[in-house]
Amino acid sequence: MVSDSPADGRNPGMPLDLDWVRSVQANLSAIERRAATIPGRRSVKKEWQAAWYLRAITCMDLTTLAGDDTDGRVRRLCAKARFPVRGDILAALGAQELGITTAAICVYHHFIETARRALEGSKVQVCAVSTGFPAGLSPFPQKLAEIKASVAAGAQEIDIVITRSHVLTGQWERLYDEVRAYREACGEAHLKTILATGELATLRNVQRASFVCMMAGADFIKTSTGKEPVNATLPVGLVMTRAIRAYQERTGYKIGLKPAGGIRKAKEVLPWLSMMRDELGVEWTGGDLFRFGASSLLGDIERQLEHHVTGRYSAAFRHPLA
Amino acid sequence: MTRISEIFTTMEYGPAPESPALVNQWLETHARSFGHYIGGAWREPHGGERFPTLNPGTGQELAQIAQGDQEDVDAAVAAARAAYPEWRALPGHARARYLYAIARQIQKHSRFFSVLETMDNGKPIRESRDIDIPLVARHFYHHAGWAQLMKELLPDQVPVGVVGQVIPWNFPLLMLAWKIAPALAMGNTVVLKPAEFTSLTAIAFAELCDEVGLPPGVVNVITGDGRTGAAITKHPGVDKVAFTGSTEVGRIIRNATAGSGKKLSLELGGKSPFIVFDDADIDSVVEGVVDAIWFNQGQVCCAGSRILAHEGIAERLTEKLRARMEHLRIGDPLDKAIDIGAIIDRSQLEKIRALVDQGVADGAKIWQPSWSCPSEGFFYPPTLLTEVTPSATVAQVEIFGPVVTMITFRTPGEAVELANNTRYGLAASVWTENINLALDIAPKVKAGTIWVNCTNMFDAAAGFGGYRESGYGREGGLEGLWEYTKAAWLEEAKKAAKHAPAEPAIAPGFDDEDEEEEGVAEALGGGMPAIDRTPKMYIGGKQARPDAPYVMAIRGPDGALVGEVGRGNRKDIRNAVEAAHACKWASATAHNRAQVLFYIAENLAPRADEFAARIRALTGGTIVEAEREVAATLDTLFYYASYADKWDGHVHHTPSRNVTLAMPEPLGVMGILCPEGPPLLGFVAAIAPAIAMGNHVVAVPSERWPLLATDLYQVFDTSDLPGGAVNIVTGRREELAQVLAAHDDVDGVWYFGSAEGSGAVERLSTGNMKRTWVSHGIARDWYARGSGRGEEFLRQATHIKNIWVPYGE
């Protein structure tokens, strides 16, 4: 379906194509209707469900972004990221050799150092939210400096927030320039652009912002900070998924999607994975191209995995705390 | 590698079957053999004959179904007749309670009904669970409300009586609900026959009726094949027939019931266009196509089976569709993770294959996904045919399978032309982000339902039904209730007619010009001879000589010659229909139509004495009677002028974020066979409602007294009525009625005359399945509200188009 893909290289971005941005059509009712049928059209049961849950864990950005975070709290989180599921459960599932970890842990700049040390020797990435997260309204030079400082501190992934007003007022060039600068500041670190879709008002805006961020060199587009009133919804995810597909069709580059915020229950991840699989392909159900930003989701998945093993419903306290 | 780590890598879908256990248990309880439900009891089929019903997903037999014969049908109709007086006499509130109880029971047993439906029909469990059964419950809830409100909202209507209902196999329980809910709500009793492939949910429904204590005989379920259906539709004890199915069978039913006086509603086939403009949200369009043609394996009468795509986006759309098709999953209908289930039967599967083969032979390019279908059961892959020409068979006939064709267009005008290039007119889907365009196209497409940026949306509050050969009548909403009621005055008139002779087919008082002429001298004024007046036909706004120069003498009560009119023939009708089509009256604003009707009255009024004198000369009535008729005519013109801009549609409250506009639209070109008399009022009261609604009329005036109609065209000429809006063809009425009824470019025929003539009109209407409204020899009092004028005339002059417009940004 795609023309000659330039391998699996990192998206270099492209010049801002305003015609493309402005030609976007996103019909809310039709998108909602499609999104509403995704959970009903696909059902994953038994071993398949257990395997899909394990996969979901490997797509997880285990997150703590609270004002009362401490080094100790972050170290506990990192330990959980390295060993997200109890060993006896993994053994019962026959999944030890999969080396299940979360994809990343996601923290404020302040804790990058702590996390990096705690995760040494593991494949878990350290991700820092940046650019004046969550509102993103700090002075621009300061935001660039923040990215650079985080990269210098060892963050491998940077989650930036876009300036929502650029979207709401249609200043696509300014949005493009901003994200382009962030990308440069990231260097080798991967750039995840948070659209804060709950504050963009329309799906058309979501899709336009998605295109501009990808054109500016985003590696991932991410729905939310987790701090907006509405976070990751399937209709929003569907629109971003379609944008990713269109971008790949046009440029050959694969962009990742990160829904974040509000995904707390294990059963909620299945429609997301189905959507990624059916709309974009199996590749988009792996951590390279798909992430859940979540803090409490893992606990519920653990309980479901234990239920699969024992046939009994599980309790939260049976699983090690993060 | 363990099982789980393997799935972890491939991320395959596994089986996710819904359990058939409870349904199997129910089948076993009945020893997998069923009878008829008649008069509240289960009965063995009279002939002892049964046939198997299969699970299309496996090809295995599910149960043995009773074959109904004439005796079974007689018993069921008798039971329905016996139950009718009491059921009808129940307060609306009591009937509402029964319907409410049915709705609740359906909801409580929703999973059972879903699984049973899927096993018997082969549709994916997702659809029966998330669409069919919820809509069934919704239909009974909604109509519980109509039962409650009937007396208040339809005060002049009464039930029709015993209703015979024959339903198809594609939405078995939903079609049952569409038939039974309005029938019961309006006080009718029913004999229903499910399709032979899918009888089980109707049988389970009958059990449910028993559970809620529905009085015996109110609902009777007879199973069987087409012979059973024919026995129901032909049964003299049935007052109304409601049928959903193929146009072919609909035509047979129209023929069989013609002249019987039975009310008839038909929901037939379709070849619905799916119009995609270049500014549409293409990804959403692709999902729309999935919902349009891969819903229920494309076995949907209103399936969007003809994609009409703007040429500029057709290629991109095709690519996206192919990619999407590749990801569709086909398989066990009970599996909760499949998109497409099984085709109903091997015979249908073979029909689909044959049509697709023909399409390819005709030059279409075929595309099917790379994956293969299950080998057991009846499956057909989703199929896209491109490079299809409008002349290809696959572009014209209903395939009733998961097969969609694509044709491109250049302009909105061409899209409409292609959309309407079909004998059908059930539904259409219009995709554009431009509301100006959407609302421009929606009224122009000849179809009963238009979905803007959506497709296959149904609801109990919105009427569903077709134009053209897709049938007539609506199901759902207020517009659906008229099918299950009749005017109270009509019931009284029918009772009276049983004791009185029917209106004669050929009225006395005329003779042909080749017969001996008498009394010409009496027609001359004293002294100077009168100037000869030659009434002509009135076609396209011009006076026209008859195609064949023959005249008919029109005489007064004493036999004196009052005048002569042309004797029209089939060519005059042909010319009149062409003139009617050329007219633009339908696009005049309602205000403009009102103005013209008022103006006709204004211009008639000063000539009241002349018209009264003419009436007297023809009828021999008193001056008081003649003046009363002229006055009533003026009143009638004002009446329909007033209604022209007040016969509003509705905005239905359908349960999704959209406006559902129920718009009355004119039928198009109508043939109106006016009553014999009163000569002036009868003519005007028959044509005024039709033109008030924007129809173009070919009127055949009273055969006995046509001179009032021909006198009137001078009034039309001075009243800004555009040429072709009303055409008058004088002559032998029965003869002309048959030409009009058989004309394939006439959209509706009204016939006020004999029972025999009514039957002929109904029979001959089957060519294009035009709408007919005939009097079956029951005389109307043209001076009375209800029988002589009223909203029924406006309803009969329009059909309701439902336009679904979802909104939100």
High-pLDDT (> 70) share of chain B, %: 96
pLDDT in tens, B32-51: 999 999 999 999 999 999 99
Yes or no, beta carbons of A1 and B323 under 8 Å apart: yes
- Residue B533 binned pLDDT confidence (cut-offs 50, 70, 90): confident
Residues from chain A that touch B656, judged by Cβ atoms under 8 A, are 29
Which tokens belong to B342? Answer: 């099984």
Q: Does A19 touch chain B (CB under 8 A)?
A: no
Yes or no, beta carbons of A33 and B282 under 8 Å apart: no
Asked if pLDDT for residue B134 goes beyond 80, the answer is: yes
How many angstroms separate the CA of residue A46 from the nearest CA in chain B? 8
Q: Does B548 touch chain A (CB under 8 A)?
A: no
Q: How many CA atoms lie within 13 A of A89 on its CB side?
A: 25
Asked if pLDDT for residue B779 goes beyond 90, the answer is: yes
Evaluate whether residue A322 is within a structural domain.
Answer: no
Q: Does A46 touch chain B (CB under 8 A)?
A: yes
State phi, psi for B756 to the nearest 5 degrees: -65, -45
pLDDT in tens, B378-429: 999 999 999 999 999 999 999 999 999 999 999 999 999 999 999 999 999 9
Pick the CATH number of B568-797 from 3.40.50.720, 3.40.50.11540, 1.20.1560.10, 3.40.605.10: 3.40.605.10
Yes or no, beta carbons of B14 and A46 under 8 Å apart: yes
The count of domains in chain A is 1
Which tokens belong to B628? Answer: 């009363």
Residues from chain A that touch B282, judged by Cβ atoms under 8 A, are 25
- Residue B507 binned pLDDT confidence (cut-offs 50, 70, 90): very low
Q: Does A36 touch chain B (CB under 8 A)?
A: no
Mutate to test the interface with A, among B1, B2, B3, B4 (most CBs of A within 10 A): B4
How many angstroms separate the CA of residue B646 from the nearest CA in chain A? 32
Which tokens belong to A294? Answer: 């979540």
Q: Where residue A207 sits, what CATH number does that domain have?
A: 3.20.20.70
Asked if pLDDT for residue B512 goes beyond 70, the answer is: no
Given this chain, do its domains B21-268+481-488 and B568-797 carry the same CATH topology? yes
> Is B28 among the catalytic positions?
no
Q: Does B806 touch chain A (CB under 8 A)?
A: yes
From the list B2, B8, B130, the residue facing A55 with the nearest CB is B8
Q: Does B281 touch chain A (CB under 8 A)?
A: yes
The DSSP element (H or E) to which B664 belongs, if any, is: strand B658-666
Nearest to A32 by CA among B428, B806, B432: B806
Predicted confidence at residue B497, as pLDDT, reads: 78
From the list A30, A203, A242, the residue facing B453 with the nearest CB is A30
pLDDT (mean) for B159-164: 98
Asked if pLDDT for residue B664 goes beyond 70, the answer is: yes
Chain A residues 122-161 with CB within 8 Å of chain B: none
pLDDT in tens, B246-293: 999 999 999 999 999 999 999 999 999 999 999 999 999 999 999 999
Using CA atoms, how far residue A118 sits from A63, A85, A297, B404, in Å, is 15, 18, 21, 58
Predicted confidence at residue B532, as pLDDT, reads: 80
Evaluate whether residue A7 is within a structural domain.
Answer: no
Q: Which residue of B has its CA nearest to A243?
A: B283
- Strands of B149-196, DSSP E: 157-159, 162-166, 189-193
Yes or no, beta carbons of B454 and A45 under 8 Å apart: no
Predicted confidence at residue B411, as pLDDT, reads: 98
Yes or no, beta carbons of A30 and B808 under 8 Å apart: no
From the list B13, B453, B657, the residue facing A27 with the nearest CB is B453
Nearest to B795 by CA among B157, B295, B84: B157
Yes or no, beta carbons of B806 and A97 under 8 Å apart: no
pLDDT in tens, B669-723: 999 999 998 999 999 999 999 999 999 999 999 999 999 999 999 999 999 999 9
Q: Does A95 touch chain B (CB under 8 A)?
A: yes
pLDDT (mean) for B744-761: 97
pLDDT (mean) for A185-204: 97
What is the layout of strands, in order, in the sheet containing B658-666? Answer: B365-367, B383-386, B403-409, B304-310, B272-276, B427-431, B449-452, B798-806, B658-666, B650-652
Asked if pLDDT for residue B496 goes beyond 90, the answer is: no
How many angstroms separate the CA of residue B181 from the nearest CA in chain A? 28
Q: Which residue of B has its CA nearest to A48?
A: B14
Yes or no, beta carbons of B281 and A25 under 8 Å apart: yes
Q: Does B648 touch chain A (CB under 8 A)?
A: no
Q: Does B433 touch chain A (CB under 8 A)?
A: yes
Question: Is the sign of the CA dihedral B489, B494, B499, B504 positive or negative?
Answer: positive
Domain ranges of chain B: 21-268+481-488, 272-465, 568-797
Yes or no, beta carbons of A278 and B433 under 8 Å apart: no
Which tokens belong to B324? Answer: 């999407």
Residues from chain B that touch A279, judged by Cβ atoms under 8 A, are 327
Pick the CATH number of B21-268+481-488 from 3.40.605.10, 3.90.180.10, 3.40.50.2300, 3.30.720.110: 3.40.605.10
Q: Does B391 touch chain A (CB under 8 A)?
A: no
Average pLDDT of chain A is: 96
Rounded to whole angstroms, the Cα distance separating B264 from B245 reads 13
pLDDT in tens, A71-112: 999 999 999 999 999 999 999 999 999 999 999 999 999 999
- Of A61, A159, A219, A300, the active-site residue reads A159
Residues from chain B that touch A43, judged by Cβ atoms under 8 A, are 16, 335-337
Residues from chain A that touch B807, judged by Cβ atoms under 8 A, are 29
Question: Domain residues for A113?
Answer: 19-316
pLDDT in tens, A171-183: 999 999 999 999 9
Evaluate whether residue A96 is within a structural domain.
Answer: yes
- Residue A6 binned pLDDT confidence (cut-offs 50, 70, 90): low
> Is B762 among the catalytic positions?
no
Which tokens belong to B631? Answer: 């006055």
CATH class of B272-465: alpha beta
- Of A80, A143, A192, A222, the active-site residue reads A222
Yes or no, beta carbons of A43 and B284 under 8 Å apart: no
Chain B residues 448-467 with CB within 8 Å of chain A: 453-454
- CA–chain centroid gap for B798, Å, is 11
Rounded to whole angstroms, the Cα distance separating B498 from B242 reads 25
Predicted confidence at residue B513, as pLDDT, reads: 45
Q: Which residue of B has its CA nearest to A1?
A: B323
Q: Is A224 exposed, middle or buried (0-12, 13-18, 19+ CB in 10 A)?
A: buried
> Cis omega before residue A134 (within 30°)?
yes
Which residues make Cβ contacts (< 8 Å) with residue A188, sequence separation at least 6?
A151
Q: Does A2 touch chain B (CB under 8 A)?
A: no
Using CA atoms, how far residue B300 sits from B168, B322, B368, B556, in Å, is 10, 22, 20, 58
Yes or no, beta carbons of A29 and B809 under 8 Å apart: no
Yes or no, beta carbons of A47 and B657 under 8 Å apart: no
